[in-house]
């Protein structure tokens, strides 16, 4: 790659590729906290969550699955992964458990300067990508982004790491209504329709040592613990993730499953809207 790639032709939130026969896409929240507040974030990162996944936890979780699932792509994200003080160490940790996996670090970039050893770790690991996700086009946002762009360009030039810049805000959709305790599922009662348009349909999560179908169902309990959610969420909170002691048949069924009941929590058709500046405080949403 001769320069940093501008991923402007493909939406960052729409059209995830189907898993290839040689592996799946797996995602790990390095940190649940985020410095931005993108309205209707599918990871609920705009709701002020805290906490990190420790290296010891991540090592244990990956170790429980590394011999059972071939990972084609491991996404390190959040929240905002650069908030984690030991982010750099997650790169060789992934490589330890999945030697041939593509490692993709997804970040808004504003705290990348806290991790000067990160580009070297990514270069040494090989087969890595730094994905800079842009969440607004306001002049104030762009101005703060300038030194970030300069930094990732220098990392590309000095270390040869691949960098992709994605205008995520252009393709943002609502994943639920309301905010905090007022958050509600859509419940269009069309799980197949919701699954077909889902941008996270192949974004399985590794959390608490288990495999989860998608980000919204994975981190819903964090919302429940922080807010007094409507009882409408109770059927979805009853979701059971896949534990490492599952049978091979259960694992195959999990990886092949498409729509299921929990998909009814999301909209069955794209609900696009203009994302407010995520540097500002979140505001109530309307259905």
Question: Residue 226's domain is classified under what CATH number?
Answer: 3.20.20
Distance CA 92, CA 97 (A): 9
In which band, very low, low, confident or very high, does the pLDDT at 286 lie, cut at 50, 70 and 90? very low
Token pair in block for residue 15: 């059209």
Residue 225 CA, distance from chain mean position: 20
Taking the alpha carbons of 138, 140, 146, 147 in that order, is the dihedral positive or negative? negative
Nearest to 209 by CA among 233, 239, 244: 244
Q: Using an 8 Å Cβ cutoff, are 180 and 283 in contact? A: no
DSSP of 45-95, one letter per residue?
GGG----B--HHHHHHHHHHHTTT--EEEEEEEES-GGGSTTGGGHHHHHH
* Residue 10, pLDDT above cutoff 70: no
pLDDT of residue 287: 39
Domain assignment present for 278: no
* Residue 226, pLDDT above cutoff 60: yes
Lowest mean pLDDT among 11-15, 109-113, 281-285: 11-15
pTM: predicted TM-score of the whole model, two decimal places: 0.91
Domain assignment present for 282: no
In which band, very low, low, confident or very high, does the pLDDT at 169 lie, cut at 50, 70 and 90? very high
**Average pLDDT for 140-157:** 97
In which band, very low, low, confident or very high, does the pLDDT at 280 lie, cut at 50, 70 and 90? confident
Partners of 143 in the β-ladder: none
**Average pLDDT for 151-158:** 97
Domain range for residue 175? 5-10+21-265
Sequence-distant (≥ 6) Cβ neighbours of residue 6 within 8 angstroms: 165
pLDDT of residue 266: 96
Nearest to 163 by CA among 121, 133, 143, 189: 133
Domain assignment present for 135: yes
For 77-102, how does the pLDDT look when each residue is reduced to its tens digit (9 = 90+)? 999 999 999 999 999 999 999 999 99
How many other CB atoms are found less than 10 A from the CB of residue 227?
Answer: 17
Sequence-distant (≥ 6) Cβ neighbours of residue 239 within 8 angstroms: 212, 213, 217, 220, 262
Domain assignment present for 220: yes
- pLDDT, the chain, mean: 91
Phi-psi group of 23: left, alpha or beta (phi > 0 → left; psi -120 to 50 → alpha; rest → beta): left
pLDDT: which is higher, 281 or 51? 51
* Residue 281, pLDDT above cutoff 90: no
Q: How many domains does the chain have?
A: 1
Domain assignment present for 216: yes
* Residue 11, pLDDT above cutoff 60: no
* Residue 19, pLDDT above cutoff 80: no
Burial class (CB in 10 A: 0-12, 13-18, 19+), 17: exposed
Domain assignment present for 272: no
Q: Using an 8 Å Cβ cutoff, are 92 and 123 in contact? A: no
């Amino acid at each position: 790659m001769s320069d940093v790639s501008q991923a402007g032709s493909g939406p960052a939130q729409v059209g995830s590729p189907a898993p290839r026969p040689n592996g799946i896409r797996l995602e790990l929240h390095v940190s649940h906290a985020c410095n931005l507040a993108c309205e209707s974030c599918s990871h609920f990162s705009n709701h002020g969550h805290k906490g990190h996944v420790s290296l010891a936890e991540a090592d244990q979780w990956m170790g429980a699955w590394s011999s059972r699932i071939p990972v084609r792509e491991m996404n390190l994200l959040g929240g905002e992964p650069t908030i984690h003080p030991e982010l750099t160490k997650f790169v060789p940790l992934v490589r330890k458990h999945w030697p041939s996996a593509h490692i993709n670090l997804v970040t808004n970039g504003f705290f990348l300067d806290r991790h000067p050893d990160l580009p070297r770790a990514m270069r040494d690991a090989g087969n890595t990508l730094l994905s800079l996700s842009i969440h607004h086009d306001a002049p104030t946002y762009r101005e703060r982004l300038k030194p970030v762009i300069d930094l990732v360009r220098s990392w590309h030039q000095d270390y040869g790491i691949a960098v992709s810049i994605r205008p995520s805000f252009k393709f943002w959709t609502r994943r639920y209504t309301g905010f905090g305790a007022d958050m509600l599922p859509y419940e269009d009662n069309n799980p197949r329709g919701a699954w077909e348009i889902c941008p996270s349909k192949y974004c399985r999560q590794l959390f608490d040592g288990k495999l989860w179908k998608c980000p919204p169902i994975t981190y819903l309990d964090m919302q429940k613990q922080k807010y007094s959610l409507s009882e409408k969420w109770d059927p979805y909170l009853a979701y059971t993730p896949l534990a490492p002691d599952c049978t091979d048949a259960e694992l195959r069924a999990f990886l092949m499953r498409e729509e299921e009941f929990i998909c009814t929590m999301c909209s069955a058709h794209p609900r696009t809207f203009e994302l407010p500046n995520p540097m500002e405080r979140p505001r109530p949403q309307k259905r």
